[in-house]
Amino acid sequence: MRRIITFGTFDVLHVGHIRILNRARSHGDHLTVGLSSDELNLNKKGRCPVYPYQSRLELLTSLRFVDDVFKEESLELKREYILQHKADVLVMGNDWEGKFDEFKDICDVVYLPRTPSISTTEIIEIIKEVHT
Ligand code: CTP
């Protein structure tokens, strides 16, 4: 059994999210997602998520290629989370290329190409423009 872990906010779920989760799962047999808490997202991106944690959780847990979701409370705890969830592979989008190489002592670290031309930030901007 090869266990995969990935992290993110997955706010305003879009096709880039679906593709990376699906591809992450195909690297093993079990996918755990560390889903950023609302507070963590506020610190990280300077805004509250559009969808609160419970809604993001419900969306992710309904995907057939997501096996488990837990709340990521702190960016400083990645090593602990990887160990706790017994992950063999950490998968991240290549916007994080090289940023998680420090965990190569406890798991494989794989960066997958992002889907071009879509992001939660861009969707929010487009919706704002339409309404101004
Ligand atoms: N991701 C991806 N392709 C995209 C957007 C995101 O593969 N077009 C991946 C990221 O690389 C990350 C995961 O999806 O591994 C979660 O990313 P997240 O930051 O939640 O989504 P973004 O759309 O990038 O959000 P934002 O615009 O707020 O940064």
Which two three-digit tokens encode residue 6? Answer: 């990935």
pLDDT of residue 60: 98
Give the pLDDT band (50/70/90) at residue 90. very high
Q: How far is CA 76 from CA 48, 81, 96, 121, in A?
A: 20, 10, 15, 24
What the chain holds in terms of domains, given with CATH numbers, is 3-130 (3.40.50.620)
Cα 103 to Cα 90: distance, rounded to the nearest angstrom: 8
Give per-residue pLDDT as tens, 8-29: 999 999 999 999 999 999 999 9
Q: Is the model's pLDDT at 130 over the cut of 90?
A: no
Give per-residue pLDDT as tens, 28-41: 999 999 999 999 99
Give the pLDDT band (50/70/90) at residue 100. very high
Protein residue with its CA nearest to atom 14 in ligand 1: 17
- Residues with a CB atom less than 6 Å from ligand 1: 8-10, 16-17, 20, 45, 92-93, 95, 114-115, 118-121
- Which of 20, 38, 36, 46 shows the shortest CA–CA distance to 121? 46
pLDDT of residue 14: 98
Taking residue 73's Cβ as centre, other Cβ atoms within 10 Å add up to: 13
Instruction: Give me ligand 1 centre to Cα 84, in Å.
Output: 24
Q: Is the model's pLDDT at 104 over the cut of 90?
A: yes
